[in-house]
């Protein structure tokens, strides 16, 4: 135990996991992510107001649009029948 009574956590020698795939589409920081359609679609919003709807089966953008002039802070769907397909 350390002097303050807390146990020290030993660092792992196992390297961090590597991504299976990297979606490239935003040029600035992604601020919001929302999964929809039974994990087959992904919405991402960035610091410049861009939103990308990703098709997770093909791993490509299905739609890209500028929703705002500034950062996207949250994303939601509004029902399966009302989103871009």
Q: What is the pTM of this model?
A: 0.74
**Radius of gyration over every alpha carbon of the chain, rounded to an integer in angstroms:** 19
pLDDT given for residue 77 in this prediction: 79
What pLDDT shows up at residue 50?
A: 97
Q: Closest Cα partner for 71 from 53, 54, 51?
A: 51
pLDDT tens, residue by residue, 21-68: 999 999 999 999 999 888 999 999 999 999 999 999 999 999 999 999
Are 62 and 54 in contact by the 8 Å Cβ rule? The answer is yes
> So where are the chain's domains?
30-75
1-25 residue pLDDT tens: 556 666 666 666 888 899 999 999 9
Q: Which residues pair with 46 in a beta bridge?
A: 30
CA atoms within 13 A on the CB side of 45: 18
Nearest to 23 by CA among 41, 10, 9: 41
Q: Which of 1, 49, 42 is nearest to 22 (CA)?
A: 42
């Amino acid at each position: 135990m350390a002097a303050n009574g807390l146990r020290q956590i030993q660092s792992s020698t196992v390297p961090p996991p590597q991504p299976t795939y990297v979606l490239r589409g935003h040029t600035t920081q992604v601020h919001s992510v929302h999964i929809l359609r039974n994990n087959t679609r992904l919405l991402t919003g960035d610091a410049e107001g861009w939103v990308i709807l990703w098709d997770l089966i093909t791993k490509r953008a299905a739609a890209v649009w500028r929703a705002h002039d500034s950062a996207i802070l949250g994303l939601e769907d509004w029902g399966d029948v009302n989103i871009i397909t």
